[in-house]
Amino acid sequence: MLSEAKLMTIKINLLSMIATFVMLMTTMAVKANPVDGILSDCMACHAVSEPSEMTLDERMKRIGPSLFYAGNKYQAIWLEKWLQNPTRLFPAGVYYGEHTVVTDEGDIVLETDLVTHPKLDQQQAQEVTRALFKLKANSEIVADLEVGEIKKVSQRMGSLNFRKFKGCASCHQDAEGDGGVSGPELYTAFERFQLTYLISYMQNPQAWEPKSLMPNQHLKQKDVEKLVGYLKTLSEDKP
Ligand code: HEC
Ligand code: HEC
């Protein structure tokens, strides 16, 4: 018969063997996925996992846009290209209040304050794109979204709608250097984003991120599709 004490030792030994095994497996899993290392450089400025909760103050201190739903947001072709040759998307930085001075003539952007985005080579861009496409938070928003046919609209009507009727230009540019600076430029939005992201974001920005700085304008899907038609025109009929 084994004594109580011996049995205990055997149990403890077994447990520590299991623990070592689990630890080994986890290290191997991390090693098998070297891309995680690349994404860890991004975490200095971007959220790659969903924060449990974020105060508005924390939101305003953020340096780059959230990436934890990247797989439901970007078009892979655009993403891979942009990472190799990043252009300015937020004319006044991700929280514009940090990079603008308000004057009587309007807001002045402190250009020198803005981040110069790290550039990746082609292979890194491919690997990072693949890793980002595994980040699929908010899938439930786009899962059942039905998208009608997106028809291009005339530049003139589209611009009138975007600027005058819907007021988007107070925060967004629909041409380089033309429009508001508190939101990202939208003249390349149609190439940048998945259609389902564009539509659902315009309908309800807070569904994507509770602390989104874009107000919910309660647009009807038909109106949203018209606006997206304008963004399509902007990207396909470039001068
Ligand atoms: C020093 C801070 C910083 C680091 C590091 C950084 N980024 Fe960014 N990122 C930004 C800023 C700021 C923007 C907004 C770009 C702009 O408008 O100029 C941005 C924009 C982006 C965008 C476009 C986002 C959008 O929705 O418009 C992607 C994609 C992106 N970064 C991916 C990455 C990846 C991947 C890495 C790591 C390899 C990375 N970034 C590292 C600051 C950073
Ligand atoms: C009061 C300013 C404001 C108005 C008005 C506004 N937006 Fe925005 N919008 C923003 C900001 C700021 C963001 C970025 C969200 C964030 O960083 O929290 C954004 C994000 C977006 C995005 C997602 C882009 C991305 O990079 O993820 C789309 C698409 C968009 N807006 C379209 C529109 C359209 C179309 C209109 C007009 C119906 C509009 N917005 C009106 C401020 C505004």
Give the CATH number for residue 116: 1.10.760.10
Tokens of 73: 């947001």
Q: What is the pLDDT of residues 83-111, one digit of tens each?
A: 999 999 999 888 888 888 888 887 888 88
pLDDT tens sequence for the chain (239 residues): 567 767 766 676 766 666 655 555 554 444 433 335 789 999 989 999 888 888 888 877 889 999 999 999 999 999 999 999 999 999 988 888 888 888 888 788 888 788 899 999 999 999 999 999 999 999 999 999 999 899 999 999 999 999 999 999 999 999 999 999 999 999 999 999 999 999 999 999 999 999 899 999 999 989 999 999 999 999 998 76
Domain count, the chain: 1
Amino acid 50: pLDDT: 87
Asked if 161 contacts 225 with a C-beta cutoff of 8 angstroms, the reply is: no
Question: Per-residue b/e over 84-122, b at no fewer than 16 CB within 10 Å?
Answer: eeeeebbbbbbbbeebbeeeeeebebeeeebeeeeebee
- The answer to whether residue 30 is domain-embedded is no
Question: Kind and range of the H or E element at 43?
Answer: none
pLDDT for 17 equals 66
| Model pLDDT, residue 197 | 98
pLDDT of residue 228: 98
Q: What is the pLDDT of residue 57?
A: 84
Domain that holds residue 104: 36-236
Report the pLDDT value the prediction gives residue 33, as an integer from 0 to 100.
39
- Collapsing DSSP states into helix, strand and coil, what is residue 173? strand
3-class state of residue 152 by DSSP: coil
117 located within any domain: yes
Q: Return the closest-CA partner of residue 202 out of 185, 225, 181.
A: 225
C-alpha 2/C-alpha 181 separation (Å) is 76
Residue 52 lies in a domain: yes
What is the reported pLDDT for 159? 97
Q: Which of 99, 119, 120, 118 is nearest to 110 (CA)?
A: 99
Residue 191 belongs to some domain of the structure: yes
Q: Are 69 and 208 in contact (CB under 8 A)?
A: yes
> Is 217 touching ligand 2 by the criterion CB < 6 Å?
yes
Q: How far is the CA of 126 from the centre of ligand 2 (A)?
A: 28
Predicted pLDDT of residue 62 = 83
Residue 169: closest CA among 81, 153, 177, 191: 177
Predicted local distance difference test score (pLDDT) of residue 203: 96
Residue bearing the CA closest to ligand 2, atom 2? 171
Residue 4 covered by a domain: no
23 domain-assigned: no
Ligand 2 center from residue 131 Cα (angstroms): 26
Pocket flag, ligand 1, residue 76 (CB < 6 Å): no
> In 91-220, where does DSSP find H-type helix?
122-132, 139-143, 155-160, 189-192, 195-203, 205-208
Residue 85 lies in a domain: yes
Distance 214 CA to ligand 2 centre (A): 5
**Which residues, in sequence order, are CB contacts of 89 under 8 Å at separation 6+?**
184, 185, 188, 192
Q: Specify if 110 maps to a domain.
A: yes
